[in-house]
Chain A
Amino acid sequence: MSRHEVVSPIPGVFYRRPDPDSPMFTEEGQTVEADQTICLVEVMKSFHSVPAGAAGTLVEFLVENEDVVDAGQPVAVIEDGG
C-alpha cells in the first residue's frame, strides 16, 4: 500500500466543490482516478482544478473547505490498494 499526498500547486483558497450550490467533488473514503479533480484552488479570482494525481482511495482531506493554502501544501491523502 502506498501513500500519495496531493499538494496545492499554488497559494490561494481551497474549495471542495465547483460552486456553493454543487455537491463536493469527492468525499473521504471514496475511490478516485489519477486525473479526477478533487478540489479547486482560487488564486486572484481564477480557479485551478487539482487532480488526485494517483488512483486509489481518498482517505483524508488535510484542510477544510474555504481554508487558505500555500503553494506546495498537502491538501489530501490518497492510498492505493497495491
Chain B
Amino acid sequence: MKRLLVANRGEIAVRIVRAARDLGISPVAVYSSADADAPHVRLADAAVEIGPPQATKSYLVIDALVAAAKETGAEGVHPGYGFLAERADFAAAVADAGLTFVGPNARTIELMGDKVRARAAAADAGVPTVPGTPEGVADVDAALAAADDVGYPVMLKAAAGGGGRGIRVVADAGELRTAFPQASREAASAFGDGRMYVERFVRRARHVEVQVLADGEGVVHLYERECSLQRRRQKMVEEAPAPGIDATKREAMTADAVALSSAVGYTSAGTVEFLVDDESGEHFFIEMNTRIQVEHPVTELVTGIDLVAEQLRIAAGEPLRVRQDDVAVRGHAVEFRVVAEDPEAGFRPSPGSVGRVTLPAGPWVRCDTWLEPDSKVSPFYDSLLAKVVVWGEDRATALRRGGRALAEFAVEGVPTTAGFFLELLEEPWFAAGEFTTGTLEEWLAERAQE
C-alpha cells in the first residue's frame, strides 16, 4: 500500500496520518468545509473537500469518500472510529471499488453489529454471555423455571421491546410471581407481544475489554483495558492493565476474546467487550467493536505495539508479525479524555474559538489531539479535544503523572474537563481502583449536591 485515504477527522485522523507516515505510506485527508484549516488536512500529502459541515453531508457520505480515494490514487481507506467505521455498507463499497478497507470485511462487521447474532456467535464459541433465556417466555411458571436456571436477581425484558420499556428487576421467586403478569401485560399492550426475556441482573459490574489483532489466520490478544468510568455511557477514563482483575480472570477473558475472534475468522484490530460481575467475579461477553477504539493508546503504552500501524500492515496483506509470546505488559497506562464540556454546568457542550493552548508533554506523557492555538471547536462534531495518556512503572506512579500532565493542560476560550479530572484524582476510591460502571455518575450526583 502506497497511499491511504483517512476517512475521518479530529485526533484520530491525525493519529492515522502519523501511523501511515511512519510506515512510508502517503496519507490523504478528507475534510468538511468546517475543517479546512484542521491539522489532519495540513499534515497529509493531499486533501479532498467532501461537503458542508454537517457529518450527514460530508463524513458520512460513502460515495464522496470512495470518490476521494479514487481521484487521489489511494489504495486503502482507514475509517478511524465513529462515523462509518462500523458500517458494513461502507466496507462493502470500498471493497467493490477495488480498494482495501482497513478493518474486517463487511460480513464480519454485520455479524458483530447485530446484538442477537453476535451473542449467538459468542455462545457457539463457548464464550459466556449474560445468562438468560434465548427466547421470550410466555407464562409465570416458565419464567420461574428460567429464573432458577439463571440465578436471582433477574431482569424481565419485553421480548418485542426496546428502549428500556417494561424492564423490571426482581430479587426472588416471590417478587417474580407478582411482577411477571404486570410486566407481561404492559409488554402486550405496548408491543402486541407479552413474552418476556428472563436475564441475570448484574447489579455492580466493571466494563473490561480485550484488544485483539488478527490476520484471518491467527489471532493474538494484547491484554485488557478497564473502561468503567463512564458518564451517560461515554467513557471518560481508561486504563491498562485493569485493576481488580487477577491473573486467572485475565487468562480466562483473553482466551475467550481469542476464541470468539478465531471462530468468526476475524481480521484487523478489534475489541471484545465484557461485563465483569463485581460480586461473583464472572465475566460475560457484551459486544465486539470491529474498529480501532478511542482508548487504544493505553494498550500501546503498556505493550509497545503500534495498533494503527499493525492494522495497516494487516490490511496490506502482511501476515501478523506479533506472536502471542512476544506480547508483554509493562507498567501501567491511563487515558483521560479531555472534552469541550463544562463540568460546572452539567457537562454542557461548549463549542467556540480557543486562544492559547498549552499541551502536556515530558517523560511518559502522550497527548493525542487536533487542538492548536486559535483552533475552532466546532458544534458539528463530538467534543473530544485531546486524549492525555500517561505511563508509569505502576498505577500510583501513572496517576501521579496524570495529575502533573492535566495540570499542565491549558486552553483559553472554551471550558474543558481537564480540571475535573484533577478532582477525580483526589478521590480515594479512584486511587484504590475500586469502582464499577455506576461509580462515576454516583460521585457526580453527590458532587452536584455540594
**A interface residue numbers (CB < 8 A to B):** 10-13, 43-46, 66, 68
Are B351 and A11 in contact, CB atoms less than 8 angstroms apart?
yes
- Per the bound structure, the CA–CA distance linking A43 and B54 in Å amounts to 11
Number of interface residues of B (CB under 8 A): 13
Are A12 and B56 in contact, CB atoms less than 8 angstroms apart?
no
Within 8 A of A (CB), among B349-376: 349, 351
Of B341, B379, B383, the residue contacting A11 (CB under 8 A) is B379
Within 8 A of A (CB), among B316-351: 340-341, 349, 351
Are A44 and B54 in contact, CB atoms less than 8 angstroms apart?
no
Of B52, B340, B380, B382, the residue contacting A12 (CB under 8 A) is B380
Q: Could you say which residues of chain B place their CB within 8 Å of the CB of A12?
A: 379-380
A10-B349, A13-B54, A44-B383 given; name 12 further pairs at CB < 8 Å.
A10-B379, A12-B380, A43-B351, A44-B341, A44-B379, A44-B380, A44-B381, A44-B382, A45-B382, A66-B54, A68-B53, A68-B54
Q: Could you say which residues of chain B place their CB within 8 Å of the CB of A68?
A: 52-54, 380
Are A44 and B351 in contact, CB atoms less than 8 angstroms apart?
yes
A43 nearest CB across to chain B (Å): 4
Question: By CB atoms of chain B within 10 A, which of A12, A43, A44, A46 has the most?
Answer: A44
Are B349 and A43 in contact, CB atoms less than 8 angstroms apart?
yes
Q: Could you say which residues of chain A place their CB within 8 Å of the CB of B379?
A: 10-13, 43-44
Residue-by-residue, is B224-255 near A (CB-CB < 8 Å gives 1, otherwise 0)? 00000000000000000000000000000000
**B interface residue numbers (CB < 8 A to A):** 52-54, 56, 340-341, 349, 351, 379-383
Sample of 16 A–B contacts (CB below 8 Å):
A10-B379, A11-B351, A12-B380, A13-B379, A13-B380, A44-B340, A44-B341, A44-B379, A44-B380, A44-B383, A45-B382, A46-B349, A66-B54, A66-B56, A68-B53, A68-B380
- Per the bound structure, the CA–CA distance linking A11 and B350 in Å amounts to 10
- Per the bound structure, the CA–CA distance linking A45 and B351 in Å amounts to 12
Q: Could you say which residues of chain B place their CB within 8 Å of the CB of A13?
A: 54, 379-380
- Per the bound structure, the CA–CA distance linking A60 and B340 in Å amounts to 34
Q: Could you say which residues of chain A place their CB within 8 Å of the CB of B56?
A: 66
- Per the bound structure, the CA–CA distance linking A44 and B341 in Å amounts to 10
Q: Could you say which residues of chain A place their CB within 8 Å of the CB of B381?
A: 44-45
Q: Could you say which residues of chain B place their CB within 8 Å of the CB of A66?
A: 54, 56
Q: Could you say which residues of chain A place their CB within 8 Å of the CB of B349?
A: 10, 43-44, 46
Q: Could you say which residues of chain A place their CB within 8 Å of the CB of B383?
A: 44-45
- Per the bound structure, the CA–CA distance linking A46 and B341 in Å amounts to 11
- The residue of chain A having its C-beta at the shortest distance from the C-beta of B232 within the complex is A46
A73 nearest CB across to chain B (Å): 12
A16 nearest CB across to chain B (Å): 15
Which 7 residue pairs across A and B have the least CB separation, nearest first?
A: A44-B349, A44-B383, A11-B379, A43-B379, A12-B379, A43-B349, A45-B382
- The residue of chain A having its C-beta at the shortest distance from the C-beta of B384 within the complex is A44
A26 nearest CB across to chain B (Å): 22
- Per the bound structure, the CA–CA distance linking A12 and B55 in Å amounts to 12
Q: Could you say which residues of chain B place their CB within 8 Å of the CB of A10?
A: 349, 379
Question: By CB atoms of chain A within 10 A, which of B52, B53, B349 has the most?
Answer: B349
